Chains A and B, each alone.
Chain A
């Protein structure tokens, strides 16, 4: 079966750095997405990785290792507004998106 694993919940301090991991087992791979979802709102696109390595976009970076079936989202200089759920999703060989259950990130002052 296809599976994406990410931690259910993480807590971090304002101003710090946090890394959210995602491991996947899918039938094929055509790219990996990270989305942010604030409580009661729709998911919004954060990043996309299709090649190995690090993609940086401001305070957020996303890393991919296809050989290990592993990605992480790195958030720097955490702000209270970063409190949200972070969803990992993989495009399989049929270009169907397989979603993880999401990681709820709690930021404390």
Chain B
């Protein structure tokens, strides 16, 4: 199994507070992704990174920021949480080199509830 962990796994917070989710990998993969998953929707990409300090926006990036100062860590920050950001957040990694198909490996997910 790919070494990828997320923290916290569960969090309840109040509207207007900042929240940071952490994704940590031990695979030394270049590509890291943050997705959110909501009922009735497919996984939706928030932000992604293709290397240290190289990040880009996904389709639902408003209200979110990311940072990647080390290969192994990718942080997702909600500057001021809103109820619409209540969701399950998944981090994923991908190794674009080598003989694999380029599939994503996912962390266990972080369930965030904004009251």
Contact = CB atoms under 8 A, between A and B. Distances in A.
B interface, size bucket: 10 to 19
Nearest to A46: B103
A45 B107 CA distance: 13
Contacts of A45: 103-105
A42 B101 contact: no
Given A31-B101, A48-B101, A43 B43 contact: yes
A49 B41 CA distance: 23
Interface string A78-109: 00000000010101000111111110000000
Interface string B88-107: 00100000000001111111
Interface of A: 4, 31, 33, 41-45, 48, 87, 89, 91, 95-102
